[in-house]
Amino acid sequence: MKYLILILLTVSLFISCSKKEDKFEAFSTEAFAYDLGGSWEVNATVRIKGFTQIEDKETGNYAATISLIVDLVKPDSTVEKGKFSYVHTETSKEKISDVGLEAQFELDSTYQEGDYKIIFHIKDANSDNQTSIETDLVLEK
């Protein structure tokens, strides 16, 4: 009986001390456009968490590298792939809980008023984890 209790305590201690790993996910999307009188300026944001951070042993800083590719879905359901892309690097003296990513691009006068969708394709460069999320974008004067 003593051995059974000892084994149960050991197993529960091991499980409770295991490092909890957050799921790589995107959340809190927003997108809006400004009418520039003949063109549109689109601003879109998304937040992410659960990415892998690399600790620099010399400085103690944490770093994360995230790539973002934005696709635009037009009202007629055609998709413009890679409308915006960039690689974001975040560093901090403390562990980073979440990161905000921003996209800003211009649409010319060929884009008409209507309901569009923004698709965020996000990749964690340190782990190769990927996720996607979308949000609505309305072009209106």
Confidence of residue 14 (pLDDT cuts 50, 70, 90): low
Average pLDDT over residues 77-103: 96
Average pLDDT over residues 125-141: 95
**Confidence at residue 49, expressed as pLDDT on a 0 to 100 scale:** 96
**H-helix or E-strand spanning residue 120:** strand 114-124
**Confidence at residue 22, expressed as pLDDT on a 0 to 100 scale:** 78
Question: Which tops the pLDDT comparison, 21 or 65?
Answer: 65
When the pLDDT of each residue in the chain is averaged and rounded to a whole number, the result is 90
**9-13, 98-102, 104-108, 122-126, range with the lowest pLDDT:** 9-13
Average pLDDT over residues 81-101: 96
8 pLDDT higher than 90: no
Residue 88 CA to residue 98 CA, distance in Å, equals: 13
> What torsion, rounded to 10 degrees, do the Cα atoms 21, 118, 46, 109 define?
160
Buried b / exposed e over 67-76, threshold 16 CB at 10 Å, is ebbbbbbeee
Residues 36-85 have pLDDT tens digits of 988 999 999 999 999 999 999 999 999 999 999 999 999 999 999 999 99
96 pLDDT higher than 60: yes
**Confidence at residue 141, expressed as pLDDT on a 0 to 100 scale:** 82
- Whether 79 contacts 132, CB under 8 Å: no
Tokens of 47: 């937040």
